[in-house]
Amino acid sequence: MPEDSPDLQPATIAVTAGRPPHDPDQPLNTPITMTSTYVAGGQLEYGRYGNPTWSAFEEALGALEGGRCLAFSSGLAAVSTVLDLVTQGGKVVAPAHSYTGTLLQLADLEARGRITTELVDITDTAAVAAACVDAALVWFESPTNPALEIADIAAIATAAHEQGAYVVVDNTFATPLLQQPLALGADVVVHSATKYLAGHSDVLMGAVATDDDELFAVLKGRRDLLGAVPGTFETWLALRGLRTLHLRVERAQSNATELVSRLREHPAVAETRYPGFGGIVSIVLAGEALAADLLVQKTRLWVHATSLGGVESTFERRRRWKAEPVTIPDGLVRLSVGVEDVEDLWRDLAQALDTLTV
């Protein structure tokens, strides 16, 4: 990214950051560097400590989030590394509705006596602030997965910092194009790069960003020691996907907004949850679990699959997973709206919904 262009918009940063210099005969794209070791005497030494392909991805995502970035082998590897900031017996505050992998990690750490956890309604800012007392780390998503609740990031960050706690925001759903938690007071941002950042359902990868140099050094040290590093080819794919993030998010959000307006009118849908931005929509079907299970079997374009953020539209009944909180309705179906033609998406979804009201 040109150093003399500090005011570039996010869409431009997504395209330009992490590229080689504009010198004659330089490649336009960062090459894939396939190596496990380096000639001694430099900064890298060994493949677990760094890679030029990682650096390109980290530069691009760091520029989008307003901090410095570290790439990880998966979103959960990133989650685990950040939770490792909490010392023995420390308290973590987290939303009752969160990504199940995060909740499972918290439950596992608590069961082993490593931490204590207090789960909260993240939309109740006063209750979250009260829970921050004696907390070491406050972790949340906004929107939450799959309830799509919105948190007041700035207010929660202020309350947490008053108690000396770190603030971590999982920004996977919003992406840095729609929300920059570091600018709102968060200490660390976490991503499942598998989702929107890579964007094509072909990569397992995670990422962490922070604007705190001390925290960055600690997190990098933990990544180096634990070996939670991404594959070079996966990182190259994620960077390639990042180049079109703004286009994909714009289209998915446009599609989601239109679908939400129609879903709210359909008699088979008891509730439509949408935070007003992004490409994730959750619906609660009037027929509850049975209707949800039938719905995901009756479409041609919409694919019944877990994960989200790809170019294709997918959906699933979240309570099919045993670890999903019981406060998530049985009939809730999470939709990851893709970039297909919205009329085709609606036609396919509507015919499936219509079968539930016959």
Active-site residue, selected from the candidate residues 48, 243, 262, 320:
48
Cβ contact 327:266 at 8 Å: no
| Spatial CA neighbour of 106 closest among 196, 174, 170 | 170
- 91 a catalytic residue: no
Taking the C-alpha atoms of residue 44 and residue 52, their distance in angstroms, rounded to an integer, is 10
- Which of 91, 170, 273, 317 does the annotation list as catalytic? 170
| Residue from 19, 68, 91, 99 carrying the catalytic annotation | 99
CA 358 to chain centre: 38
Angle CA 36–37–40, to nearest 5? 175
Q: Which of 91, 195, 251, 317 is catalytic?
A: 195
The question of whether 170 is a catalytic residue gets the answer yes
The answer to whether 121 is a known catalytic residue is: no
Active-site residues, by number, are 48, 99, 170, 195
